[in-house]
Amino acid sequence: MPLGFLKSVKQKASTSRPTSANASSVDQPPVLPGRTTVLSDVEELGIGMFWATDSEGRLTFLSQRALDDLGIAGQDLIGKGLIKVFGDVEPEPGAPQQRALGFKLKAHSKIEEHVVAITTPRGRGGEPGIRWWRLNGRPLADPSGKFLGYRGSAVDISSQYAHEMQVARQSQVDELTGLTNRRKLGEQLTATLAAFRNSQRSCALMMLDLDRFKHVNDTMGHPAGDALLKQVAERLQSIVKDSGEVGRLGGDEFQVLLPDMDDRGALGELANRIVQSLSQPYQINGRRAIIGTSVGIAIAPYDGVEADELARAADMALYAAKEGRGGTFCFFTTELSDAASKSARLGERLRDAVDRGDLKLAYQPLVDPVSNEVKCFEALLRWHDEDEGYISPAEFIPVAETDDLIVRIGDMALRQACSDATQWPETIRVAVNVSAKQFVRPGFRKSVAAALSASGLAPSRLELEITESVFVGDLEAVDAIFRELKGIGVRLALDDFGTGYSSLAYLKHGHFDKIKIDQSFVRGCTENGDINPAIISAIVALAKALGMETVAEGVEAMDELKLVRERGADLVQGYVYSPAIDHEQLLARVSDGTMKVSPSGPPRHRAERISIFRKVGLIHEDHYYDVILRNLSKTGARINGLAGVPMGTDVVLDLGHGQLVVSKVANATENSQGLQFETALISDGSGGFMTRHRISPYSLAEAGIPLAALGAGAFPLAKWREGHKSAPAFVQLDLSV
């Protein structure tokens, strides 16, 4: 209530008197009630309540209506600090933005429409309740300007405020999971990026969706799907905690906003924890289900400086992660858009190749490491394209898995492998890979039985290699399929054990005859300090306890062979014995009824490296040179394109997109150099390598280069040095030769 109104009421109440006892009522002004009566009348009408403080901010007056509303005795509040009586509202989605009440009181500012929360003893169930008031107040001063305190009014807005907050929350919070919804996520991302541009800060965005969620929804019902999404939301929040904002975009799609994060090593670890956590079994209405997830990661300002730009980059990275084997993460690179177009073209050619019967089978031996005798051959797909030449299964299998083409390919491989194996010695089995789509398709048992019947192969000679991804979805249905296959008499092998979804509990069911130890545990197992030998030993011990065979995959070096043999692996598969060979070569080598293979390979494991042929940059002093990157590992690279580079030279390798690697020339020939990195690269989650950190585009902007996400091509450091060059120390060779 304005102070002027109260003064006017007081003056009129004290000066309005009848001039004469005999005067007519028409001539006499009406008799007005006193101040207290007016205040009571105003309160009774519900217009407002009144309060006052002294100069120290202590409450000196609270009208009766206010006390009645709160259910608190006046003597309990009078003398208390105003900010102790009226607490600021905790910020909620949609709550009005306002300065703290304490700040306004300290500054002796006007208090206008300020929402406060008051704890009352009249809550439900005996618990304290909360009332919301909207305060107005004015500072009061004496004629000399000395501050005397506040006089103000209040209105109880509890019902209105609760409704407003409910509406606001519904517009910004996902109703099912309680997470931030798509609309609010977009607003937060836009606001965060705008603010971070000014302060030159980074921000990471993760996009993820659930693998095989639709299968759970279809087989267990929509209520089960909703319950699953709630559990996913809880797991995500428990992992991310206060590091970022977790939201649901809709359906089975989620997003994680991570301010001030650009360490790709830390982001990869977080993404991996998310993948592993969300892949653990779920209990839903007394039944168990397993799903998985894939994660795409983009980082501002490297991959985008606008919200739609960054979201597009993260979505493209997610697509790349799913296009691979799924259940993994992928960082955005500018090459992904080209890769997406390439995959689309590859899919069209692959379908034509399947129609023409161009896909063939090759066979890689699984060898007893003690006797060197071949016990089994794994059937592997090979494709020679007329235009592209040989195309790796790592490229075309993920493309086939995006639709039902993988089912056609899988059935073809199963029939051909059974037919081929009938021409081998009966002591040698054949192993055929089965995709998750093929495995859960109705009628898979009939397909297996038909392939065996058509070929005449004994069921005990057929091994079906199944990855852990089959455990995604309704586990009871998966168990039923396993029982059907075991009823036929075929053998079952768990492929790539330990890399995918949680399936340890299913080993005890007795479905599997063999466990294949994934090559990621074999590679580098002989390096000092590597924990993989302990993992290999544990898997072998577990398998032996359950009566299963073990296969160590991807063995390439003699020291690796020695280690897996000593750790007890029953069979070994890898280049140390043989690559995959075509069927004609196989028949020639088993003509005497057996097949033995002598191991051959490098004596020691070499750090994993990738063969590459692309143009990058090399920085030495104030010169920027163009070079060709020939191969790349975590600890070094080989380049050519320069001559006259002595050993021991300190250089910086520019891998593009802001990735600068401090290096030293470890060996050199006339036009080729081997580089050793000062800091090791990290895995990019997709079989490649990357730097943990990048040069920020904000640094480029400071150097006069317009702010934008880092695009394709080498880092334009040369622009920084123009006009400040000394004579080049090395000879730049023609890279077009």
Helix and strand numbers (H, E) in the chain are 25, 34
Rounded average pLDDT over 480-494: 93
- Do residues 269 and 204 make contact, with C-beta atoms less than 8 angstroms apart? no
Rounded to an integer, what distance in angstroms lies between the CA atom of residue 724 and that of residue 727? 10
Q: Please tell me whether residues 528 and 384 are part of one structural domain.
A: yes
Q: 3-state class of 388 per DSSP?
A: coil
CATH number at residue 139: 3.30.450.20
Q: How far is CA 20 from the centre of its chain?
A: 88
Q: What is the DSSP letter of 696?
A: -
The pLDDT of residue 607 is: 62
The pLDDT of residue 17 is: 38
More confident residue, 658 or 121: 658
Residue 196 lies inside a defined structural domain of this protein: yes
Residue 342 lies inside a defined structural domain of this protein: no
Q: Please tell me whether residues 223 and 265 are part of one structural domain.
A: yes
Residue 54 lies inside a defined structural domain of this protein: yes
Rounded to an integer, what distance in angstroms lies between the CA atom of residue 230 and that of residue 242? 19
pLDDT band per the 50, 70, 90 thresholds, residue 340? low
In b/e form, how buried is each residue of 28-38, taking b as 16+ CB within 10 angstroms? eeeeeeebeeb
Most confident range (mean pLDDT) of 601-610, 646-655, 716-725 is 646-655
The pLDDT of residue 95 is: 52
Rounded average pLDDT over 616-643: 89
Summarised one tens digit per residue, pLDDT across range 166-217 is 666 667 788 899 999 998 999 999 999 998 888 889 999 999 999 888 888 8
Summarised one tens digit per residue, pLDDT across range 76-101 is 788 888 888 887 655 554 455 677 88
Rounded average pLDDT over 548-556: 93
Whether residue 34 has pLDDT greater than 70: no
Whether residue 21 has pLDDT greater than 70: no
| Partners of 284 in beta bridges | 287
Q: Please tell me whether residues 94 and 137 are part of one structural domain.
A: yes
Q: Please tell me whether residues 184 and 161 are part of one structural domain.
A: no
Whether residue 527 has pLDDT greater than 80: no
Counting residues of the chain whose pLDDT is more than 90, the rounded percentage is: 41
Residue 344 lies inside a defined structural domain of this protein: no
- Do residues 622 and 724 make contact, with C-beta atoms less than 8 angstroms apart? yes
Q: Please tell me whether residues 223 and 115 are part of one structural domain.
A: no
Whether residue 686 has pLDDT greater than 80: no
Provide the angle, in degrees to the nearest 10, between the axes of the packed helices 393-400 and 335-356: 80
Last residue of a domain, one of 589, 618, 646: 589
Q: Please tell me whether residues 245 and 368 are part of one structural domain.
A: no
Write out 639-670 in H/E/C secondary structure: EECEECCCCCCEEEEEEECCEEEEEEEEEECC
Quote the tokens at residue 529.
């300090």
Q: Please tell me whether residues 581 and 492 are part of one structural domain.
A: yes
What separation in angstroms does the CA of 359 have from each of 165, 352, 407?
Answer: 61, 10, 14
Q: Give the range of the structural domain holding residue 209, as residue numbers without chain letter.
A: 175-333
Terminal Cα-to-Cα distance of the chain (whole angstroms): 88
CATH number at residue 567: 3.20.20.450
Residue 354 lies inside a defined structural domain of this protein: no
Rounded to an integer, what distance in angstroms lies between the CA atom of residue 139 and that of residue 147? 7
Summarised one tens digit per residue, pLDDT across range 249-298 is 999 999 999 999 999 999 999 999 999 899 888 998 888 888 889 999 99
Rounded average pLDDT over 94-115: 80
What DSSP assignment string belongs to 324-386? TTSSSEEE--THHHHHHHHHHHHHHHHHHHHHHT--EEEEEEEE-TTT-BEEEEEEEEEEEET
Q: Please tell me whether residues 287 and 370 are part of one structural domain.
A: no
Rounded average pLDDT over 111-117: 88
Whether residue 22 has pLDDT greater than 50: no
Element (H, E) at 488: helix 475-488
The pLDDT of residue 26 is: 42
Whether residue 737 has pLDDT greater than 60: no
Quote the tokens at residue 564.
């897996």
pLDDT band per the 50, 70, 90 thresholds, residue 719? low
The pLDDT of residue 24 is: 39
The pLDDT of residue 628 is: 92
Whether residue 472 has pLDDT greater than 80: no
What separation in angstroms does the CA of 228 have from each of 169, 179, 248, 249?
Answer: 22, 14, 13, 16
- Do residues 132 and 37 make contact, with C-beta atoms less than 8 angstroms apart? no
Rounded to an integer, what distance in angstroms lies between the CA atom of residue 86 and that of residue 680? 57
Summarised one tens digit per residue, pLDDT across range 365-395 is 999 999 999 999 999 999 988 877 888 887 7
| Stated pTM of the model | 0.62
Rounded average pLDDT over 36-49: 62
Q: Please tell me whether residues 489 and 548 are part of one structural domain.
A: yes
Taking alpha carbons only, the member of 293, 358, 372 closest to residue 329 is 293
Residue 560 lies inside a defined structural domain of this protein: yes
Last residue of a domain, one of 135, 166, 197: 166
Average pLDDT for the chain: 83
Q: Please tell me whether residues 576 and 431 are part of one structural domain.
A: yes
Whether residue 323 has pLDDT greater than 80: no
The pLDDT of residue 325 is: 65
Rounded to an integer, what distance in angstroms lies between the CA atom of residue 584 and that of residue 598? 20
Taking alpha carbons only, the member of 250, 257, 246 closest to residue 180 is 246
Pairing of strands 147-156, 203-211: unpaired
Whether residue 627 has pLDDT greater than 80: yes
Backbone angles phi, psi at 333, to 5 degrees: -135, 160
Last residue of a domain, one of 118, 134, 166: 166
CATH number at residue 727: 2.40.10
Whether residue 118 has pLDDT greater than 90: no
Q: Please tell me whether residues 183 and 159 are part of one structural domain.
A: no
Whether residue 410 has pLDDT greater than 90: yes
| Residue 183 burial (C-beta neighbours within 10 Å; 0-12, 13-18, 19+) | middle
Residue 343 lies inside a defined structural domain of this protein: no
Residue 7 lies inside a defined structural domain of this protein: no
Residue linked to tokens 């003398």: 79
Rounded to an integer, what distance in angstroms lies between the CA atom of residue 224 and that of residue 234? 16
Domain count for the chain, please give it: 4
Q: Please tell me whether residues 553 and 643 are part of one structural domain.
A: no
Backbone angles phi, psi at 597, to 5 degrees: -130, 130
